[in-house]
Amino acid sequence: MKPNYLITIIGPTAIGKTSLSITLAQHFGCEIISCDSRQFYKEMTIGTAVPSDEELAAAPHHFIQNKSIFDKYSVGDFELEALSKLDELFPKNNIQIMVGGSGLYVDAVLKGFDEFPDIDENVRTEINSKFDELGIEFLQEKLLEFDSDYYQKLTTENPQTLQNPQRMKRFVEVCLGSGLPYSSFIGKRKNKRDFIPIVIGLEAEREIMYDRINQRVDIMLEQGLLNEVENLFPHKALNALQTVGYRELFDYLEGKTTLEFAIAQIKQNTRRFAKRQMTWFKRTENATWFDFQRDRKEIIKVIENLTQYHAT
């Protein structure tokens, strides 16, 4: 029996991942799993750079606009659904494709997560209340108190996480809810996968990447991003809408900034987001990186060698 291969395309926003995934899907005759956490939501189209109708028609896609912003949906939910979909797809073709810029979601499918205890809802409520009252410093102090080793590890390896309220709340609730350090649950679970991952990364010189991002934002605005955000404004507090391209225009609609400033902020924050993506993805084990302009035939040849693919 042939082994299953999951070709996974990673890289920063606006680098050309969608285009490459379609080229590969057409060449290998397979389907595409999207793991872009912003593209799950059907109410968000322009600001999340959802593939065009032509692109969606060029190859079968999954997990594109399949949820609502009102749905509760976690990375763990996605992991289960994506693996289930792959179980359906591999019997048809032992090569399938996954693409997206959400590093946490990529890791969920390729490696899975450690298993953490269920947390009492009262603990979660208390932490949220304290955070609203005292801010991120409360979470930082609690993590330092209950899991100083993990706190120091984040300080050294991933300091931006210490400023991320959602991640920090999770760390603290596990500590408080279990009475054990968050780090004590890491690396205990072995997640088996019935496929071999082949990770392809796309990259570009920083200035080129930033120019592409600026151009994409301009195109989104021409396509009607402001109108899309206006329609979503009544729901601006939803977690799904706490994302670049939406937050900045919500501020404009509330009269906090000018439109010109909001657009400049979208570009700047998207560039920062792309930089964080590259930091995350560069840690990916056994990834093969290509310049975004590399001849697609050369990338295909590398994948064919890795998968021992033979066209029929």
Assess if residue 256 is contained within a domain.
Answer: yes
Binding positions for ATP: 11-18
Q: Would the pLDDT of 312 be above 60?
A: no
Residue 208 binned pLDDT confidence (cut-offs 50, 70, 90): very high
Assess if residue 180 is contained within a domain.
Answer: yes
Q: Same structural domain for residues 28 and 150?
A: no
Instruction: Locate 269 and state its tokens.
Output: 């924050």
% pLDDT > 90, the chain: 83
Q: Same structural domain for residues 149 and 298?
A: no
User: Distance from CA of residue 118 to its chain's centroid?
Assistant: 24
For position 118, what pLDDT does the model report? 83
Binding positions for substrate: 13-18
Q: Would the pLDDT of 57 be above 90?
A: yes
Residue 308 binned pLDDT confidence (cut-offs 50, 70, 90): confident
| 27-54: average pLDDT | 96
Q: Would the pLDDT of 210 be above 60?
A: yes
d(CA 269, CA 127): 28
Beta strands in the chain (DSSP E): 5-10, 32-34, 61-62, 95-99, 196-203, 288-291
For position 311, what pLDDT does the model report? 63
Half-sphere exposure of 175 (CA within 13 A, CB side): 23
Q: State the chain's mean pLDDT as an integer.
A: 93
Q: Same structural domain for residues 100 and 228?
A: yes
Assess if residue 146 is contained within a domain.
Answer: yes
Q: Same structural domain for residues 25 and 104?
A: yes
Which of 40, 46, 80 shows the shortest CA–CA distance to 238? Answer: 40
Select from 185, 211, 227 the last residue of a domain: 185
* Under 8 Å between Cβ of 147 and 181: yes
Select from 185, 203, 234 the last residue of a domain: 185
For position 275, what pLDDT does the model report? 93
Assess if residue 29 is contained within a domain.
Answer: yes
Domain count within the chain: 2
Q: Quote the longest CA-to-CA distance of the chain.
A: 63
Q: Same structural domain for residues 137 and 242?
A: no
- Give 298's contacts (C-beta < 8 A, 6+ positions apart): 290
| 27-38: average pLDDT | 96
Q: Same structural domain for residues 140 and 250?
A: no
Binding positions: 11-18
Assess if residue 145 is contained within a domain.
Answer: yes
For position 186, what pLDDT does the model report? 82
| 270-289: average pLDDT | 93
pLDDT tens track for 60-102 = 999 999 999 999 888 889 999 999 999 999 999 999 999 999 9
Select from 185, 214, 237 the last residue of a domain: 185
Q: Same structural domain for residues 300 and 212?
A: yes
For position 237, what pLDDT does the model report? 92
Instruction: Locate 309 and state its tokens.
Output: 């693919």
pLDDT tens track for 285-307 = 899 999 999 999 999 999 999 99
Q: What residues make up the domain containing 156?
A: 121-185
Residue 15 binned pLDDT confidence (cut-offs 50, 70, 90): very high
Assess if residue 27 is contained within a domain.
Answer: yes
Assess if residue 312 is contained within a domain.
Answer: no
CATH of the domain at 70: 3.40.50.300
Residue 117 binned pLDDT confidence (cut-offs 50, 70, 90): confident
Q: Same structural domain for residues 211 and 256?
A: yes
For position 159, what pLDDT does the model report? 87
Q: Same structural domain for residues 107 and 220?
A: yes
d(CA 79, CA 59): 22
Q: Would the pLDDT of 200 be above 80?
A: yes
For position 310, what pLDDT does the model report? 67
d(CA 206, CA 203): 9
Q: Same structural domain for residues 14 and 101?
A: yes
Q: Would the pLDDT of 143 be above 70?
A: yes
Q: Same structural domain for residues 198 and 243?
A: yes
Q: Same structural domain for residues 47 and 135?
A: no
